[in-house]
Amino acid sequence: MKKTIITVVGNDTVGIIAKVCTYLADNNVNILDISQTIVQGYFNMMMVADTSASDKDHGTLAKELQELGDRIGVVIHCQHEDIFNRMHRI
């Protein structure tokens, strides 16, 4: 299983996690892990997710999450975990 990393960065407001999680649940994406922190006043969240059961392909999920982010005023990225593993693990 290839894991997907979803990151959310932006100003902290009510309901960010709820909206992102609702979208993921609607699209059958299983959340494996969530971590969250505030960096320099910005809301930072990272989710590790399994998208293998979703009907939508990676490109569609990434695009729709980006649009969701635009609506709630945060930046959402959806990337395969390999890019991070490759860069930070030997």
In 3-state terms, what secondary structure has residue 2?
Answer: coil
Q: Is the Cβ of residue 22 or residue 66 nearer to another protein in the bound state?
A: 66
Binding mask 54-73 for another protein (x = CB under 8 A): ----xx--xx----------
Torsion (CA) 51, 56, 58, 64 in degrees, nearest 10: -110
Contact 1, 75 (CB under 8 A): no
Q: Of residues 48, 50, 56, 68, which one binds another protein by CB under 8 A?
A: 48
SS3 assignment, position 11: coil
Residues lying near another protein in the complex (CB under 8 A) are found at 5, 7, 9, 33, 35-37, 39, 44-46, 48, 58-59, 62-63, 77-89
